[in-house]
Amino acid sequence: MHPSNHIKGSKGTDLRGKRIVLGVTGSIAAVECVKLVRELIREGADVCCVMTDAARTIIHPYSLEFASGNPVITEITGMVEHVSLCGEVPDRADLYLIAPATANTISKITMGIDDTTVTTFATTSMGSGIPVVIVPAMHKSMYQHPVVIDNMERLRSLGITFVGPNVGEGTAKVASIQQIVDEAVRVLDRRLEKRRIIVVTGRTQEPLDTMRVITNRATGESGIELARRAYRRGADVEIWSGNSSYDIPGWIPCKYFDTLDDLMELADGVAGTLIVPAALSDFGVKERHGSKIPSSEPLRLDLEPLPKFIHAVRDRTDLLVAYKAADTRDEAVEKAEEMVDRGRADIVVANSLDDIRKGLNRIYITRDGKWYEGRKRDIGDRVLDNIGMP
């Protein structure tokens, strides 16, 4: 057994049973391909690599053979590798991913020129209807060439998906491995296609004076992971983020808020499904101090309840998924079911405060009446499964 099998599916099963052909061209970003192959395998994929002659001057085929556990295709032989993997044949590839893709390769694909292994695979894939994803990487001046721009637009019109690039430091840098994998899954998983989902995550912070705020310990991890899971399923996702401790994927649109008032202003843009795992403040100071309060004297705070966000948006959404935390599991279930019974939300996700841990969680979902425990990415999947239920 090849060592690559030891990591297969170690992160998840989003690509289980999927065969991905990775085309590698002569960009310096090819040095990232070993990591990319391994990450695709960790999501369950079987990966076969195809290299141009230019790519072989940057990274050796043995490196990708080691990474994938499969022979690397560097030329088209009598075995007609392009047809065997990407033609109209049984057990063909599910996706052709070109990463990195140079300006030269992109332009050749647009014109139907297949004078390299990678472009020949592209012609075959497009002709047989296999999804194609292209990840550009080149110098900024090349990326800005009007003909290159036109070629990319032409390919988009033909149904090809482009990932990145990230323009900066004079280059059009290859997209991150995380983004490439997310897009690969998204192309293959369309369960939530055309579904509009807004995820409200993080925490609010209500000002006490010009320096201090009242807030809570929520990190935003659950909401961000849920948004990524929805994005992978093909949904039209937008994140509304409070003060999150976790990085928000740059390829998912995001709007930011600090206070509950800020969030209420965003509510005018609510549409579709709204999921609210955010920890929103229940109380704020009755009167905010206009300057920093001296710390030399005792301080008494006069707090007042703040409006409930889910009440404000209840009638503006097609589906409202609220979150409820309580001290115990029994109390969490009771309060969650009560919220649904009173029509305050369509679905409530509940947990006890003791069940919340970094990377892990245990939740109860009212729609199917079940408890789930696991990684936050898996928990996010269970929430999305319930959204898809009648």
Structural domains in the chain, CATH included, are: 3-188 (3.40.50.1950), 196-387 (3.40.50.10300)
DSSP string of 191-225, one letter each residue = TTTT-EEEEEESB--EESSSS-EE-----SHHHHH
Report d(CA 46, CA 371) in Å as an integer. Answer: 33
Task: Look at strands 132-136 and 95-101 and give their pairing.
Answer: parallel
Q: Has residue 169 got a pLDDT over 90?
A: no
Average pLDDT over residues 323-352: 94
pTM (predicted TM-score): 0.94
Helix (H, G, I), strand (E, B) or coil at 82: helix
Q: How confident is the model at residue 171 (pLDDT cuts 50, 70, 90)?
A: confident
Average pLDDT over residues 238-262: 92
Report d(CA 49, CA 17) in Å as an integer. Answer: 17
What is the four-CA torsion angle of 364, 365, 370, 376, rounded to 10 degrees? -60
- Specify the pLDDT at position 244: 83
Q: Retrieve residue 76's tokens.
A: 């088209």
Average pLDDT over residues 131-137: 97
Report d(CA 159, CA 152) in Å as an integer. Answer: 11
Q: Which residue has the higher pLDDT, 40 or 244?
A: 40
How many residues does this entry show for the chain?
390
Q: How confident is the model at residue 248 (pLDDT cuts 50, 70, 90)?
A: very high
DSSP string of 304-340, one letter each residue = EEPPPHHHHHGGG-SEEEEEEEESSHHHHHHHHHHHH
Report d(CA 115, CA 289) in Å as an integer. Answer: 71
Q: Has residue 105 got a pLDDT over 80?
A: yes
- Torsion over CA: 146, 147, 152, 157 (sign): positive
Q: Has residue 390 got a pLDDT over 70?
A: no
The whole-chain average pLDDT of the chain stands at 93
Helix (H, G, I), strand (E, B) or coil at 366: coil
Q: What are phi and psi of 72, to 5 degrees?
A: -95, 135
283: left (phi over 0), alpha (psi -120 to 50) or beta: beta
Q: What is the largest CA-CA distance in the chain?
A: 86
pLDDT tens-digit readout, 293-312: 888 888 888 889 999 999 99
pLDDT tens-digit readout, 197-235: 999 999 999 998 889 898 888 889 999 999 999 999 999
The 8 Å CB, 24+ separation contacts for 141-146 are 141/170, 142/103, 142/172, 143/103, 143/167, 143/172, 145/103
pLDDT tens-digit readout, 55-71: 999 999 999 999 999 99
Report d(CA 220, CA 119) in Å as an integer. Answer: 42
Of 117-121, 205-209, 321-325, minimum mean pLDDT range: 205-209
